[in-house]
Structure 1
Amino acid sequence: MNHTEYKTVWNLDSLFNGGSESPELHNLMKDTNVRISELEEIIRKVTPKPDQLENVLKRLTEIKVRIAQMRSFAICLLSVDSNDHGAQFYRGETTALQSKYDSMTSDLKRMLASIEEMEWGSLLASENLKDYRFILGEWREEAEREPSREVSNLMVDGYHAWGQFYQSFMSGIRVQVRGGELSVGQAINLRTHADESVRREAHEALVVKWTEHEGQFAQILNHLTGFRLNMYESMGVEDVLQIPLAQNRMKPETLDAMLSVMEKYKEPFSEYLNVKAGMNGDAKMKSYHFWSPMNHEHQGMEYGEAAALIEDRFHAFGVEMGRFAQTAFREGWVEAENRPGKSAVPICAGFPLTGESRVFMTFPSTFKGVLTLVHELGHAFHNHAMKQVNGMNRSYPMNLAETASTFAEMIILETAMDQAETEKEKMFLLDEKLKRSIMNFMNLHARFIFEKRVHEERRKGFIPAARLNELMGAAMEEGYGGALDEVPVHSWIWTPHFYKTESPFYNFPYTFGYLLALHLFARAKETGKESEDEYLAFLQDSGSMSAEDLVMKHLGEDITKESFWEKGMELCVKDSEEFIRLAGLQ
């Protein structure tokens, strides 16, 4: 029996003692400002010589890591208390520092783009720059679509400020359910409640709040989208997907192939939704019943049990992953306590200066909560794997970040499936797997459709809340293939990804990561003891290769072809078929 005490409140003092009043944090901010001023002067005079570029890149790396450390700390503080004024100040200051950093890199990119081809080849061949070849090539290509210094400065108190205001506004909303006052995160967690009446009440209480505030949220989304479109126009960017694809280091052909496969395979998942709806006594799946648990003892799990389970399963996969999980849980890297006032959004925050991460969520004592926790720990393990990599090559794109998080979920789900002893237990686990397939193939597709259409309409003018509801409803109908009843038209409000200024179209990366993780996990099961080493090598390359080159190197597959995505999709279709078979035996 496990007697380990797992703390549900994280330790942030080991990062900066004293929270937002930390003298260490203040000094780091002050010193980083000085370093930026010094480097701005150096970059103005830099010439395309290997030793000079190496010096600049080392200094940029140091500044980048420091900004990430401070920004993550501010985000962590605000996730537990949106009214922490000191944390609000530091988040604003780190945004300003990031803007200065981006301006410096933009200047450097333009200089790189001006180098003649022959000189460029000679430069990259230099031993001094061997660790920077990928990022230098990427920067040279990006030069033509960089925002001007003036636009970058405006983004701090315009574009990014609206995104931060959304987070603060959402954190301050309270919902009345069963006579108690809950945060949005706590109310959303009730989607997994075993009692149908509680699920419905929480859903209806949230709808009241969304309706009450939809005008304000419409303003935020319109201002964000409008700023982005104007910024793209100033950069000569016409296609709104150009920047997200570049951020994810993937080709348009890859996205097109994946979307095409998603369109083809909706029917098996619609059938699952219809069967699950029938089990609830409904003809079609109501949105607030989607996360309803199957009647099985595994639906409830306390935090200590969850932590012990994850430690055990990670250790079974590999020694490095097992040690990582033990460190995360025993050294206070996880904030899981269920209390009011916390943000609704689970996150993983990386602290590259100290080689740590912090995971934030409100743990609901359900199996879904276990998977949310392990999803964020998957991100944290990705950060852990990158500790050995040059600082400039630690920044991996969102699609590969979601590969790591989904891979961690697979470790829990697949091993649980292998150990399932009864049909009821197997059906419960299949249901959990299929919920993730639905989210990645239907919900994320709906988000993609919505976001694309919002950008198209915003070019013509302001989009009122009522029209945003219409667009969301139509996108959900299309994404779910008409299989959803009582479509949640307000999901544009409570989906935080629409408001992430750093990552527009943060939807398709999830589907990419989900399907790629299926391939990686299948390969890991084949390679056995070597699987952890291969997985670590994959993660460590994730910051210095395109998505296409990375998958070709480690899996020998061409992800611009539909056949690659169909292999993963077919595994999910088998889950649907097996669930439907088992449901017919009930």
Structure 2
Amino acid sequence: MTEQTDRELRWELSALYSGPDDPRWEADLKQGQAQAGRFRHDFRGRIASDQLSPELLVAVLQRYEALQKQGLKPYLYAQLLFAADSSPPAHKALLARAREAWSAASEQLLFFELELLQLDNERYLCLLKDPEVARYAHYLNQMRAHAPYTLSEEVEQVLKRKELTGREAFVQLFEELTASLRFRFAMPGEEEPREVTGEELLALLHHPEGEVREGAFATFLGRHAENALVLSSCFNNILLDHAKEVELRRYPDIMTPTHLSSETEPAMVERMMQVTEANYSLAQEYFALKRQLLGRERMKNTDLYAPLGGQSRQIPYAEAKALVLEAFGGFSPRLAEEAGAFFTERRIDALPKPGKGGGAFCMGMLPGQAPYVLLNYTGNLRDVATLAHELGHGVHYALSQGQNLFQYHAPLPFAETASVFGEMLLTRHLLDRESDPRVKIELLCAKLEDIIATTFRQNVLTRFELAAHKKRAAGLLSPEEYCELWWSENARLFGDAVEMIEPYRWGWSYISHFIHSRFYCYSYVFGELLVLALYQKYLEEGAPFVPRYLELLAKGGSQPPAELLKPFGIDLADPDFWQKGYDFVEGLLKELRALVEAG
């Protein structure tokens, strides 16, 4: 790879700051802290007052939004630097400095939301009648939903201050440890082992040789097992921290904070998970079909993403870019235009390297600041789907730029709407341009594997997380106990169709969602099934669907989920809604089976 090409595949952050030593970074951080202090001086005691006018509330909200943008910009920049390369001490120091400064500023700002919660309901509803206040209605309503579980300002300040040396410290420890791990492995075609990244090993799960797949995954998991003491300590302390918060705030359930933030009903989520488990047989049917296609006597979990036909097609990054933009453009030129800007403005960091965080993400940044995408692109078909996925997120953020900061991000269950839809557009684009039945089989397999990973597997992850939290409440968990919980939940999905390799007991230890976002994984199930419903409507309606979909993305988090879905005639309370998604999956399975039998 040429130096020029390598440079083009790294993101360019100079639109934010010229580098970690840019004096503007420190100046912005200090300015954010100073604004927080002035905000507290100017408005503390004036919010929880009968004299609060709509005009004053709007002025306060605008000031609050402006100072948050001021303080968050340097923090987000530090996160981007650290994610792309956690090795330099300067990157670690910058992120630590940003976290500490933002924590201090947040303490100054706690009074604002606490005073808003003290407003009596009649006064609050009166304020909402003002059109300018109503622009913030969804944010204000969501905030007040947390009122029963909010503590005094003094207690909230102590919790915020202690978080730096508590939960946040273990989050950073997990990030630094997992990003620093190196693996000795003889890559295919090489005689001697060498140092490789975790992403390079995980990419080998798509290698045509079973021994390579199993060896790579076993090496990856084994290295994590060697760090069991630190990893299990991170899990134990983060789970204990959550349990103490639930106890302190008197939440009725360990998932209550997530439900409040996601605007989901516990009964609805549980029903969705039960329907998912009732359809585990669809996954097992696919696993049996994949085993037949591979010609294997038994199916291991390292065979799930094995390429068909004994070869793993490598897709150059330039081709992946073209495929995704073509797929997006076939749906809407606006979608392709917004996605294309990530490439022309160099807002994608694509190549795996030592010190870089694993996986992929899109950082939405702020209204007025363009989003960025991080990938670990190794050239397989799944990486192309990941590119479509993260650019879907990016388009979502780009279209919702018109929202205020508090309503910029979509509710958690909608966070995956554009990303999964982008993957569906890519799959259909690839299928439509392909005439070879063997390639169509490969594409359908890839799509079904993706749906299985995004629904059934994420359901397994959620059940594991719930089980771990509940068991941790009774006492410290050993690494072996985490392994057993993980093994048990995965066994429910795989049944007799898939044999798990022994090192897979450590599969829980590298999944960052457990560390960063409690119970986030069920949102993938929600998002995938919702997208299947939306995509089915697109197939039925064609062009008239497009502007309504773009409007949905542009609304960001400005409305509750039920309101966002009204234009599409979708009712999340419908008991049969979740099953319709799996009926769609069953249709894909039938299409695949017909192609296999015809061959």
TM-score category, normalised to shorter length: over 0.9
Unaligned runs of 5+ in 2: 187-192
The corresponding residue for 1:16 is: 17
Q: Of residues 453, 456, 464 in structure 2, which corresponds to 1:439? A: 453
1:35 and 1:424 map into 2 onto residues whose CA distance is 61
2:85 maps to a residue whose letter is D
Indicate if the aligned counterparts of 1:145 and 1:236 stay in contact, CA closer than 8 A: yes
Q: Of residues 348, 362, 375 in structure 2, which corresponds to 1:361? A: 375
- Give the drift of 1:281: 4.2
> In structure 2, do the counterparts of structure 1 residues 86 and 49 end up closer, same or farther at CA, with 3 Å as the change threshold?
farther
1:303 and 1:94 map into 2 onto residues whose CA distance is 34
The corresponding residue for 2:338 is: 324
Alignment of 1:426-465 (within 5 A): 426-465=440-479
2:418 and 2:378 map into 1 onto residues whose CA distance is 23
- Give the drift of 1:510: 0.4
Indicate if the aligned counterparts of 2:413 and 2:527 stay in contact, CA closer than 8 A: yes
2:69 and 2:348 map into 1 onto residues whose CA distance is 21
1:353 and 1:276 map into 2 onto residues whose CA distance is 45
2:445 and 2:208 map into 1 onto residues whose CA distance is 15
Indicate if the aligned counterparts of 1:349 and 1:359 stay in contact, CA closer than 8 A: yes
> In structure 2, do the counterparts of structure 1 residues 257 and 464 end up closer, same or farther at CA, with 3 Å as the change threshold?
same
| 1:190-246, Cα deviation, whole Å (9 max, x unpaired) | 111233332122112113212211121111100110011111211111311111111
1:62 maps to a residue whose letter is A
1:14 maps to a residue whose letter is A
The corresponding residue for 2:35 is: 35
The corresponding residue for 2:166 is: 158
Describe the SS at the equivalent of 2:227. helix
Q: Of residues 478, 487, 492 in structure 1, which corresponds to 2:508? A: 492
The reply to whether residue 295 of structure 1 matches residue 295 of structure 2 is no
The corresponding residue for 1:422 is: 436
1:252 and 1:279 map into 2 onto residues whose CA distance is 40
- Give the drift of 1:354: 4.0
> In structure 2, do the counterparts of structure 1 residues 513 and 466 end up closer, same or farther at CA, with 3 Å as the change threshold?
same
The corresponding residue for 1:79 is: 83
2:564 and 2:38 map into 1 onto residues whose CA distance is 36
2:25 and 2:557 map into 1 onto residues whose CA distance is 27
Q: Of residues 99, 113, 117 in structure 2, which corresponds to 1:109? A: 113
The corresponding residue for 1:384 is: 398
The reply to whether residue 196 of structure 1 matches residue 210 of structure 2 is yes
Aligned-CA RMSD value: 2.1
The reply to whether residue 579 of structure 1 matches residue 592 of structure 2 is yes
2:217 maps to a residue whose letter is H
Unaligned runs of 5+ in 1: none
| 1:354-409, Cα deviation, whole Å (9 max, x unpaired) | 43111111211111110111111111111101111222210223321111210111
1:293 and 1:75 map into 2 onto residues whose CA distance is 35
> In structure 2, do the counterparts of structure 1 residues 417 and 298 end up closer, same or farther at CA, with 3 Å as the change threshold?
farther
Describe the SS at the equivalent of 1:529. coil
The corresponding residue for 2:284 is: 270
The corresponding residue for 1:504 is: 518
Q: Does 57-66 or 385-394 show the bigger shift?
A: 57-66
1:312 and 1:441 map into 2 onto residues whose CA distance is 27
Q: Does 143-152 or 291-300 show the bigger shift?
A: 291-300
The reply to whether residue 46 of structure 1 matches residue 63 of structure 2 is no
Aligned residues: 579
- Give the drift of 1:353: 5.3
Q: Of residues 393, 397, 407 in structure 1, which corresponds to 2:407? A: 393
| 1:160-214, Cα deviation, whole Å (9 max, x unpaired) | 1211210110000011121121111221121112333321221121132122111
- Give the drift of 1:100: 4.8
2:81 maps to a residue whose letter is L
> In structure 2, do the counterparts of structure 1 residues 246 and 479 end up closer, same or farther at CA, with 3 Å as the change threshold?
farther
1:399 and 1:505 map into 2 onto residues whose CA distance is 11
2:298 and 2:591 map into 1 onto residues whose CA distance is 20
Using the size of structure 1 for normalisation, the TM-score is 0.94
- Give the drift of 1:313: 1.8
Q: Of residues 167, 185, 210 in structure 2, which corresponds to 1:177? A: 185
Indicate if the aligned counterparts of 1:192 and 1:292 stay in contact, CA closer than 8 A: yes
> In structure 2, do the counterparts of structure 1 residues 296 and 75 end up closer, same or farther at CA, with 3 Å as the change threshold?
farther
Alignment of 1:217-256 (within 5 A): 217-256=231-270
1:257 and 1:549 map into 2 onto residues whose CA distance is 21
Q: Of residues 555, 574, 588 in structure 2, which corresponds to 1:561? A: 574
1:82 maps to a residue whose letter is S
2:84 maps to a residue whose letter is V
Q: Does 387-396 or 479-488 show the bigger shift?
A: 479-488
Indicate if the aligned counterparts of 1:542 and 1:550 stay in contact, CA closer than 8 A: no
- Give the drift of 1:283: 4.5
Describe the SS at the equivalent of 1:472. helix
2:499 and 2:422 map into 1 onto residues whose CA distance is 31
Alignment of 1:464-483 (within 5 A): 464-483=478-497
